[in-house]
Amino acid sequence: MNFANPAALWLLATTPPLAALYFLKVRRKRVMVPTLLLWSQVVQNQRTAHPFDRFRRHLLFLLQLLALLLLTFALAGPSIAGKQFLGRSVVWILDGSGSMQATHSGAARFELAQEAVLQGIGRLQGGDEGMVVLAGPEARVVASFTRDHERLAEAVRAVKPTGAASALADAVDLASALTRSRTDRTLVVVTDGSDASLQRVVEHHPGVRTELVGRDTANTAITAIDLRRSPTVDLESELFVTLRRYGGDAGPVGVEVTLDGVLLTSETVEVAPDRPTARVYRGLGSTGGLLRVQLITGDALPLDDAAVAWMAPPRRRRILCVGCTTLTGRGLAVDPRFQLTAADASTPAEEATYDAVIYENAPVPAKPGAPFFALGPAALGAEALPAPAPWPTITTWKRTHPALRFVDPTALAITTARAGAIGGWEPLLESDAGALLSTGVHGGRRGLVLHFAPTDSDLPMRVAWPVLLLNSVGWLTGEEARGQERTVAAGSPLVREGWGRDGQTVALTRPDGSVLDAPIRDGVVRFGGLEQVGVYALAGPGGRKERIAANLVSDLESDLAVLPPAPPDAETTVARAAVAGRLSLLRPVLLLLGLLLVGEWWLYQRRYRD
């Protein structure tokens, strides 16, 4: 037997004082005698009595002495060698996707899921440990492993759902990795079954249990919203909206479109079940602002009945053309979206007053003052481009990039080009000699590099030349997107280039008012998934600001059908793991001490109280 606190044994020194109370002071009982004839007998008994006689007959003293010994024994922390059994390890993966905010009979699915997890925590035994993982756009540990079940429950009550699609598979993979070393583990996924990856999760992790909440219900939702430049009026935009009804019958749905709270249009749209219905809204004005589309449905999921898009005020973009030829100047001058200024040379401070810079027959500085398009440069600052290669042949190009929209570079004749990869840059147009058009970040600014001079090819004689030029400048200045980069699906990461120098900070204010700060690294600032639905505000160095609209717009989350539960696995018995250790005797000793004190009190009341 070992003692964790041997110093407590010094309490045994209090035993002699306790005994002395009984040895030195004999308490006499008051005796009522009817005559003095009997008094002589009492005096005789007093003379012959000894202190130890009462000590031998006093059971109360023996009980107090035993209680003192037990208290000393307990404070010393006794333990014996033995096997110590480990408790269970339970992980709850809580689905925090947008569909979990659907309500049924006044309660949201997420609230039902929280209640299910709290009931599971209540069933844990003293040695069991638990952990909670929230499955959102990114898996996040809400409460790490703990045996403090009350703290675990508090963490579950405090967690909130997201407004985006969840990645249940990633959350289960994370939970499985964190519990790999635990023998007796249980993974419980609490979800409404809307995630298509759930079945794959169950197959990949056979021991995973699923608890489904909610029930099937019809729902009408906005599944897509997009703001694009009008194909007919250069300085105006068009709003594209897609509606869809999941389940139920066809019926009318009210649609309202507002700009900064002012009603632009209101209509009733007939929406068929399980088929998308597209709507286009024009005449949005030229002032810019926050566009909001609201459905009048009253269904179970209000989160997908509204969508917002940030429309930047249309304006002419100021372009500085350094060393440009007449062909380049004419290609830009025909578009009213751009205001062109020609110069033979420039400084970064001067370039900072423009929306974009074109370098042709001019060196690219180490720190450009604005996003740039370099035509046939020999170097980027001090970094030289590859050596010239004769007659490269086009092999492939990235058709989805905005700079190459409606551009067909096949059969392009190029006499010489500095074809090859630029470190950290993405090739958009490739040849047998290497990249011919690349995009990346240089000096903290987003840029495009054409690896050959236009005059060294027949590109200026093709229709593709002004299209490539206008696409590139429009993409660099954000004019081509005009709202697309500012209207995203909830859960998407946010990446911005050219917001300042490395080490500077950009602040992101979320719809709930909380603020996140992120540093600029390699000219790029990155934020994680935008989990909330609504309007975000970016604020960077030099007073630069931008607003971003995030919407649910997810077929997966708006479909409120609950997948039927998979058949339960066969019951398996898991042997509880045990390790060599020491078994504490504190509890049994304290229990015995408590019983002894109760017995002493009863004995005193019954036999020793006057």
Give pLDDT tens digits for 357-384.
999 989 999 999 999 999 999 999 999 9
Judge contact between 373 and 476, C-beta under 8 A.
yes
The stretch 53-65 carries a mean pLDDT of 62
Domain match, 73 and 107 both: no
- Residue 46, pLDDT > 50, answer yes
Residue 167 lies in a domain: yes
Domain match, 50 and 107 both: no
Domain match, 465 and 359 both: yes
pLDDT tens digits for 424-448? 999 999 999 999 999 999 998 999 9
pLDDT score recorded for residue 31: 64
Domain match, 19 and 164 both: no
Q: How many CA atoms lie within 13 A of 258 on its CB side?
A: 10
Judge contact between 365 and 402, C-beta under 8 A.
no
Q: What are the backbone angles phi and psi of residue 193, rounded to the nearest 5°?
A: 75, 15
Residue 110 lies in a domain: yes
Residue 119 lies in a domain: yes
Domain match, 434 and 321 both: yes
Domain match, 143 and 53 both: no
Q: What are the backbone angles phi and psi of residue 52, rounded to the nearest 5°?
A: -70, -20
- The one-character DSSP state at 414 is B
Residue 293 lies in a domain: no
CA 178 to chain centre: 18
Higher pLDDT, 257 or 229: 257
Higher pLDDT, 38 or 601: 601
pLDDT score recorded for residue 571: 38
Judge contact between 247 and 561, C-beta under 8 A.
yes
Residue 62 lies in a domain: yes
CA distance 161 to 102: 11
Domain extent, residue 172, equals 89-216+561-576
Which residues is 185 bridged to in the sheet? 89
CA distance 488 to 486: 6
Residue 542 lies in a domain: no
How high does pLDDT run on average in the chain?
Answer: 84
CA distance 254 to 273: 16
CA 84 to chain centre: 38
pLDDT tens digits for 574-603? 334 444 445 566 677 677 777 877 777 776
Helices and strands, counts by H and E, the chain? 13, 36
- The one-character DSSP state at 503 is T
Domain match, 76 and 112 both: no
| CB atoms closer than 10 angstroms to residue 547 | 15
Higher pLDDT, 164 or 9: 164
Three-state DSSP state, 459 = helix
